[in-house]
A and B are shown apart, each in its own frame.
Chain A
Amino acid sequence: MKVIKQILGGDLKRYTMVVALAVLIGIFNIISDGRMLTSSNFQNLLAGNAYVLVLALGMLMVIVIGQIDLSVGSVAGFSGMVMAIAARELDLPWWAAVLLALLIGLAAGAWHGFFLAKLGIPGFITTLGGMMIFRGGVIWISKSISVPAPEQLKWFGAGYLPEWGPKFTGMNNSTLLLGIIGIAAYVVSQLKKYKKSAEVTGVNEPKWAVGARILLVGSIIAYFTWLFGTGREGTSFPVPGLILLILIIIYHTITQKTKFGRNVYAVGGNKNAAALSGVNVARTYFITMMNMSLLAAVAGILFVGRSTAAGPADGTSWEMDAIASVFIGGAAVSGGVGTILETMVGGLMMAVLNNGLMLMGVGADRTQVIKGFVLLAAVAFDVYNKRSGRGSHKIRTK
């Protein structure tokens, strides 16, 4: 146990969810006779859930500031629909239509942000209103009919990275390159951390622990590189997956390494103390809400691309999946707690569950029931964990 602890760098509880996810994948793989861990299944899983995970990125920040956004599904549906209609009926080029969708997202977010930041109306109410307004809007402008999307968008929602270079690698070379970059970046970051932490604290982590950690994470990346890269001809790591990956890096950096990110946590932890430390609370609320709707538009674009048409019901109850991902990832309802990476693990948990149950032939009805239980179990486990770690203290409620 101590060895494992050293390899993972201390706090084991942080990895409980990751381990649970791995176990879940393993179990499904056994039950489905190996159909879980196949190239095509994982390509589908990632491409088919990227939009929810994109939503969860924004939702994490919204929940950390102590708010909630119920409108994201409607906003995603609305911006996707505007994009499809603009391309089809106004003959806008596809990129202009995409830009328009993103602008709609920003505007919707500014709308929600205004009511929250300037008028102090809780996000729950503001976005409940938004949920109805934009859902009604989708149905209205589409006249309840699906609108085909521009061809080029399919690449965003369901495309694969290009094939190039030598054949002897035995896999898609774009995916291979991605995997190599991933491993290299991880190795470099670990070595840097190792060196720096020794400089500042004077305590050296054992070298073997760092090595074992690099080996462990490296082989996981290598395995998935191989899995995504060796599908049938013409497939690779999916484009929506790549977009998600880039967004994860951006948002992880924003939340952990920028002033704005710190402000988000400060406002969620104690907004009065934040205000007295020079944080502009209203501005933080506003930007976070605006960012959420912008990401909702991105999710809408990805989804329309994948389904090749914008439908009037697109986005229905997506907010629930996004919120569930954030809470399974360990965020606190009272705000101030939660990270992008944990949220992504939470989201993948839901995605794997959906996918695995589908492979087992479990119907959507029972899948829904199981997901509900998993959400409760995950959060209960998290609460229990935190409570047992803090002696006699009760769960913090505000």
Chain B
Amino acid sequence: MYIPHTKKDKEEMLKTIGAPSFEDLVKQVPSKFLWPKFDLPADSLDESQAAARMAGLAGKNCRPLNFVGAGAYDRYTPAAVKAITSRTEFLTAYTPYQPEASQGTLQAIYEFQSTVSALYGMDCANASMYDGASSFAEAVRAAVRVTGRKKIVYAAGVNPQYMDTLKTYFAHSPEYSYVKVPLKDGAMDHAALPALLEGAACLAVQTPNFLGLIEDMAGVADLVKKAGALLVAAADPVSLGLLAAPGDYGADFAVGEGQSLGLPLAYGGPYLGLFSCKKEHVRQMPGRIAGLTKDKDGRRGFVLTLQAREQHIRRDKAASNICSNEALCALAATVYSALYGPEGLKELAEANAGAAAFAAERLGAITGCSLKFKGPFFNEFVLSVPGKAAALREKALAMRGVDIGLPLAPLYPELGETLLVCATETKTEADILKLADAIKEAL
């Protein structure tokens, strides 16, 4: 319990209030509902007992050498990132409703928006969304609003969880249709685009795609524009240290999962939705946006701006119902990007591509295994395995403590027995040799 009141405090306060007893204060609640029995542990734990319980639970999670990615990546979190995000002036503040008392959070958000805009090569970005999936869904929603069209064309390489989330967002409107651009050698089949794009609100594409392959975006934006549609691109922010930015290939909206920028995996969240767009769509951005302005004395300062789009003002006419953002995660990503800088992010991207290339080379050489696709990939690739991939994964985990990758059959049955294998900059040559050995032994 974290309540400071002593018995004497309570008595004095009731006296000041002028109520004979606490029960008088809650007379508005029908008494039959008050103080029911709860089937909960009779007593709470003291802090040392609670610490032991938490450590015990944490210890029940095992720590394999992990080669699973699929939208959430093993990243090293620099000490300075942890130090800044645990400063309680950031941690225990709230949405900057009083700008004069929130300049730290507001400037950090402005710098975050700048960082995301720079990485994605876009004109502007918002103060963040819940995660990559919700950013993706909101970007497609925005494209639908702008174009007034209801046909959503998406590449088969978009993260299936993103598509699930999008479909849930549109669950109430059966008039929306989803048209998949088929895979060709693991990437989007360009030849299919012109016909599919007719009457579309947008083309939603992810690169590197869910299968790890880097989509060839040359000429795609032109096709999209010709069809009167918008281009929505999802990209891993670390990959953008090296790879072409969505702005380079003409995206209208660009989104991504910011977990890559040094956030812990934490079994799925909190993560960080990155959302950016071209200037002409600035008012289509959902959620909070910080802007630079000046105070009465002409001094630089920051405020939340373009607020009239938001739920607390527009209520049932708001672009989105989103209220909170992921400010602390956004701060972590901003600090991470500032620590590595453009050179460091390029090195990180190279290390990812290099580790995955080395892993692909080793695993592709194992008898019975082969690389499913030939195209260029970033930090993930699809490996065909003999026998059941799911059984192989369990075996390697049990025998060697190596999580060799995600079996893809439930998501992409057409690919046969395959694993999606990921290697980030956290993996060494020795780790990858262990991975190869674990697979060989489990086969």
Query: Do A and B associate with each other?
Result: no
